Amino acid sequence: MRRAFRFRLRVLAGGIALIALLLVARLYFVQVVHGAEFALRAEHQYVSSSQQLFNRGAIFFTLKDGSPISAATLATGFLIAINPETLKNPEDTFTAIAAKVPTFDHDAFLLAAAKTSDPYEVVAHHVSDDAGRAVDALNLPGVQVERERWREYPAGVGAAQSVGIIAFDNDNLLAGRLGLERYYEDILAHGGEGVFGNFFAELFANLDNVVLDARSAREGDVVTSIEPVVQKKLDQTLAQVQAQYGSKETGGIIMNPRTGEIYALDVYPSFDPNNFKSADANYFGNPLVEKRYEFGSIFKMLTMTSGLDAGVITPDTTYNDTGCIEVNKKRICNYDLKARGVIPMQEILSQSLNVGASFIATRLGHQRFHDYFTNLGLGTETGIDLPSEIHGDIHNLNSPRDVEYDTASFGQGIATTPVETIRALSALANDGKIVTPHLATGIRLSSGITKPLSWGEPVQVFKPEAAHETDQMLVKVVDTKLGGGTVKIPTMSVGAKTGTAQIAGPDGKYYANLYFHSFFGFFPASDPKFAILLYTREPQGVQYASETLTNPFINLTHFLINYYDLPPDRGVDAATQ
């Protein structure tokens, strides 16, 4: 019995020792690890728990040589606060501070200084490092200078809706609200240590985090494929079109048709994310994923390829173009109402003939036409890494009437988002396969490892031969028709098509003089590296997209050829190719 007694005592003593050890370890984490904030407080670097703990991952663009450059980062500076109770002479204090901080607001400062019952009033945010140190060195009574960190967007307006912003919500929670900031919130938000209010709750909670911090495997920076120089060029081009034609909206996407990586995308009007509080909130949304449009004649490329793929037409097939046809008591006409007689398929694209597109749609039949367009992903979300994406509306392709398919063949009666459209059209530049458009290529974890993101395998929709036949037709469009053949690049094969669509009103009827212009092109046609989609909504004083978007597209093409040193794919001696 005594032996049993001794044994039990030893077990009890051991148990007590073990529990004590665990408590000491936990106490260490609670009291000592979180004790770092007291060190920061001593150095005037701590204002409140939210500011001291504010830390967020960066979003990077990627230069063509692979170097990352920040699109969203953290800036460090100072904030200036006053204690109105101890402030001696507000006017003199203001003068002294304003000499170091030129943007210091006089009226706001005096208003804050008048609140003598308030011991703490912030009078300036985002003060630069030099200015903050200079004010601190003045040692003004009643003035505190403290460290502050805030979100900064070095690219400014560039891809603002896609990069996004962070802002407080009604619950005072700072988080990503738009674009990539919102989509990758769980990766970018580097959470604080989060101390519980109850000491004993903190002591016994989250013990697993003591052993393994799961956050380090999740938190990091987002690396995108957006190329900053290409982005700037696209921004300049869109802004020019917007200003020149007084359009309601102008947008563009430049994408790699093989991989879906987006090099540049933007919409005008836009806003500066560094100063979004004074921006028009109507421009915060991203129409590239959140709005759908009837794109018009650029869809003829898909109709043509569908017909070639199904074998109902060949490049040598001819038809009798009468200028107008009547379908289900509706008239479908060419843009100029003129008849062309018996012409080959090439002319449907070269002259953008609605009657010709309807001819192909009729040959295809309802079911095949519906299947091709749905297989291209039209009417579904692309899965791009941007929030609030909607899908297109192609419900007309469920109709039993011929007229719906005929109008869809030239891009009217169905509406798609710009991202959905470039995904479908890029099949022509990728041997008949569609890919998932995306911005982020990888996540750079805090450990330094970059985790690549996978965006799925390409999906074969058309046979490569059908896509290539359409590509050749589109190269002829650029070489002979666009701009009267003046924009042809002898050493580079470029395929492209314009689209001029009417805009429907709320009653479903099309406006007489309002148009939606679109342009899609890719190059080199022999092995496409770039696909470009441009659009402008309701340009003033001009009717056709060939007038508004041809030069911007060709300028972008020349820019990309030079910037990426693309070698010629035609028009040179074989020895130099």
Partner 1 sequence: MKSRMTTRTSPIRQVRQAKASVLPAALSNRLNLYLGLIAGGLLASYVALMVTTILLAALQTQLAQNIQNKQMAIGKLETSYYAAIGQMDSTDPHALGYVTPAHVQYVTAASPNGLSFAKN
Binding site for partner 1 (CB under 8 A): 2, 6, 9, 13, 16-17, 20-21, 24, 27-28, 31-33, 35-36, 39-40, 43, 45, 69-70, 73-77, 129, 149, 152, 154-156, 158, 228-229, 232-233, 236, 491, 565, 567-568, 572, 575-577
Rounded least distance, CB 527 to partner 1, Å: 16
Rounded to an integer, what distance in angstroms lies between the CA atom of residue 36 and that of residue 482?
67
Cβ proximity to partner 1: between 236 and 374 the closer is 236
> In this complex, which beta carbon is closest to partner 1, that of residue 77 or of residue 552?
77
Where do we find the tokens 């199904």?
310
Torsion on CA atoms 298, 403, 372, 399, rounded to nearest 10: 130
3 state DSSP class of 498: strand
Compute the least distance from the CB of residue 58 to partner 1, in Å: 9
Residue (120 or 199) nearer to partner 1, CB: 199
Taking CA atoms, 410 is separated from 141, 154, 190, 327, 424, in Å, by: 73, 41, 49, 14, 14
Q: Which of 43/65 has CB closer to partner 1? A: 43
Give the shortest CB-159-to-partner 1 separation in angstroms.
11
CB of 493 to partner 1, least distance (A): 15
Q: Which is nearer to partner 1, 147 or 537 (CB)?
A: 147
Q: Smallest distance from the beta carbon of 6 to partner 1, in angstroms?
A: 6
Q: How far is the CB of 569 from partner 1 (least distance, A)?
A: 11
d(Cα 339, Cα 322) in Å, to the nearest integer? 4
Indicate the length of the chain as a whole number. Answer: 577
Considering beta carbons, is residue 21 or 114 the nearer one to partner 1? 21
Work out whether strand 440-445 and strand 330-333 pair parallel, antiparallel, or are unpaired.
unpaired
Q: In angstroms, how far apart are the furthest CA atoms of the chain?
A: 116
Residue closer to partner 1 (CB basis): 2 or 329: 2
Which of residues 3 and 329 has its CB atom nearest to partner 1 in the complex?
3
Tell me the closest approach of the beta carbon of residue 571 to partner 1, in angstroms.
9
Query: In whole angstroms, how far apart are CA 400 and each of 300, 334, 407, 460?
Result: 21, 24, 13, 27
- Residue 200 Cβ, how far from partner 1 at the closest point, in Å? 18
CB burial of 250-261 (b: ≥16 within 10 Å; e: otherwise) equals: bbbbbbbbbbbb
Q: CB-wise, 126 or 363, nearer to partner 1?
A: 126
Q: Pick the closest to residue 255 from 272, 270, 234, 239 (CA basis).
A: 234
Residue 255 beta carbon to partner 1: minimum distance, rounded to whole angstroms: 20
Please state the φ and ψ torsions of residue 264, each to the nearest 5 degrees: -160, 145
- Of the candidates 167, 166, 188, 195, the residue with the CA atom closest to the CA atom of residue 29: 195
Concatenating the DSSP letter of every residue in 404-450 gives HHHHHHTT-S-BB-HHHHHHHHGGGGTTTEE---BSEEEEEETTS-E
Number of alpha helices (DSSP H) and beta strands (DSSP E) in the chain: 22, 20
Among residues 25 and 449, whose Cβ is nearest to partner 1? 25
Looking at the Cβ atoms of 126 and 291, the one nearer to partner 1 is: 126
Query: E strands within 307-374?
Result: 318-321, 324-327, 330-333, 341-344
Report the nearest approach of partner 1 to the CB of residue 520 (Å): 23
| Structure token digits, residue 283 | 């421009």
Q: Token pair of 198, please?
A: 């109850």
Q: How far is the CB of 28 from partner 1 (least distance, A)?
A: 5
Please name the residues in contact with 126: beta carbons below 8 A apart, sequence gap of 6 or more: 75, 77, 79, 148, 150
Q: In Å, how far from its chain's centre is CA 524?
A: 25
